[in-house]
Amino acid sequence: MPATQAELPANPLDPVTLLLNLPQHVIANHACYRLGAVTVMNNPLYTERELEAQLNGSDARFLITLDLLLPRALKIYYTTNGTDPTESSSVYSAPIPIAVATTLKFFARDLAGNSEGVKTEIYTHILKGDINGNGAVDLTDAVMVLQVLSRVTPTQPINKNANVDGDGKIGLQEAIYILQGVAEMR
């Protein structure tokens, strides 16, 4: 998963695996050096077996990669019914629409067989159309949808759980839904 600077190691004995083939590779590499870490280079074109050998052989504890490439290095298993996930559970591959109160449980397992503990996120306050997540649906939310549609950075963080049509995206359907509510047409 993407690591913040605070999460990256300052201990030179903690190798960081880089799995990128973009200019960001150079930036990430220098950032690790400045933190005193050593880096392990990997090619995103490696086969799963080659990557597994690299991860096992390097003892890397951190990975820097793109969301797109993350499934190459690890899988995230999850459930939405409150039960603990296992390796038979659903594998995360796309945003999970959450339109009702949901308990999301998940864990990651890397190619080297390392699993993290199960984590839990509980979503209880799902209000359709509440784009800024303040507990009310009003014109501010409509304006934020229009900002998203116009590719303008929204004035507040977007609550993606406010999605109204289950497609996991904030767009025209949300704007219509909110404006119908504001105009008391629904």
Tell me which residues in 140-169 interact with Ca ion (CB under 5 A). Answer: 141, 163, 165, 167, 169
What's the closest the beta carbon of residue 183 comes to Ca ion, in angstroms? 16
Here's the x/- map for Ca ion, 166-185, by CB under 5 A: it reads as -x-x---x------------
> Does 128 engage in binding with Ca ion (CB under 5 A)?
no
Q: Is 40 helix (H, G, I), strand (E, B) or coil?
A: strand
What's the closest the beta carbon of residue 186 comes to Ca ion, in angstroms? 16
Cβ proximity of 98 and 161 under 8 Å:
yes
- Residue 44, sorted as left (phi over 0), alpha (psi -120 to 50) or beta, turns out to be alpha
Pairing of strands 16-19, 62-65: parallel
Looking at residue 90, its amino acid is S
**Closest CB to Ca ion among residues 22, 136:** 136
Q: How far is CA 23 from CA 47, 65, 67, 73, in A?
A: 22, 12, 16, 20
Residue with tokens 């501010």: 140
Segment lying near Ca ion (by CB under 5 A), choices 9-17, 52-60, 64-72, 129-137: 129-137
Alpha helices in 4-138 (DSSP H): 24-34, 48-58, 70-73
What's the closest the beta carbon of residue 104 comes to Ca ion, in angstroms? 19
**Closest CB to Ca ion among residues 110, 141:** 141
What's the closest the beta carbon of residue 172 comes to Ca ion, in angstroms? 8
Summarize as ranges the residues that interact with Ca ion (CB under 5 A): 130, 132, 134, 136, 141, 163, 165, 167, 169, 173
